[in-house]
Amino acid sequence: MTKSICVVGAGVVGLTTAIVLASRYEVQIIADKFGADTDSVKATAVWHVYLVPETAEVLVWSSVTLQRLIDISRLYPESGVEIIRGVELFRAQRRHVPAWSHIPPEFAFLTDDELRRFNEPEGALHGSMSSLSNAPVKWGYRAPAAKMSSYLNWLVEQAEKRNVQFRRQHVERLADLSCQHDIVVNCTGLGAASLVNDEAFEPYKGQYFVVASNDGSPTEYIGDDDHPDGMAYVIPRGGEVMIGGSAEAGLNDLVESIKWSDVVARAGRYVPWVRDSASGRPRQLVVGVRPVRPSGIRLEREVLGTGTCIVHNYGHGGSGFSLSWGCANAVSALIG
């Protein structure tokens, strides 16, 4: 007899998990938020290992996911996924080879000439950035990134093709679902903090602006998390450009608190288009919270006192998009 499985949560992790499980089981997704109402829609959705411990398992999950995203971008252009190149800059850390450097199909450290460009004094690039002289870029690398625009909608379509059922419902207790399903999979992200009383979360508030792209907008992303005046990044994504940003540990609110002028000053140093063209374009501010668990992702099987089997799959930090397919396969393996 085919097992009946309920996946709680309809973000990128929940949808992906449901798709993988639907190849062998009867699957239903239960959530109180779908589509544009989920936290996943706010993700910048670049592939990287971010705000999660770089364990051997995480590296495997990220590798599986990257390969799947590459395949999706090639086979399903309507998915909203494509591969773009990017540059990450580091000021505070000593140069080292990231544990995941073997995973992307392209990885290379920036050359001395490239680093010199990012460290050029005021005037060579632009803006008043005197604070950077005391915090130069020490190293950086180029690696691919994946973008998401209509990705969530595409995942829903893929789930529907596999006969996954959807139900809008607020879940108070996972055990309450046991009378209808053999197994419950918990993909509730930050919601797990209250749903299962998980006190291990340390939320990270993130903010960025979105502007429409044009013929002169950037085609590669750039990120400078160590910028002394605040995080700076520019990420092109299917007809729009995300300009940010912030990663504020311990904040769990959605109050807008970054200024466009500050973001332009930081990100515009590297991408002149931000200062010269984006400044005059309509923009939207996006505010979200990353579900960070400093102790790591919770991906494990639990049997409640009632006999209900729960498989937890949450706490992906800033890497839900980057780990989703690998974690979904791990959930399937746990169910057996």
Beta strands in 128-214 (DSSP E): 139-146, 165-168, 183-186, 204-212
Q: What is the distance between the alpha carbons of residues 66 and 305, in angstroms, rounded to a whole number?
A: 38
Q: What is the distance between the alpha carbons of residues 166 and 159, in angstroms, rounded to a whole number?
A: 9
**What value does the CA radius of gyration of the chain take, rounded to a whole number of Å?**
21
Joined tokens for residue 162: 């596999």
Q: Strand 283-290 to strand 108-109: parallel, antiparallel, or no bridges (unpaired)?
A: unpaired
The per-residue pLDDT string of the chain (336 residues; one tens digit each, 9 = 90 and over) reads 678 999 999 999 999 999 999 999 999 999 999 987 899 999 998 998 999 999 999 999 999 999 999 999 999 999 989 888 889 999 988 899 999 999 998 899 999 998 888 887 544 444 444 456 667 888 988 876 766 657 999 999 999 999 999 999 999 999 999 888 999 999 999 999 999 999 999 999 999 999 999 999 999 999 999 998 899 999 998 889 999 999 999 999 999 999 999 999 999 988 999 999 888 889 999 999 999 999 999 999 999 877 889 999 999 999 999 999 999 999 999 998
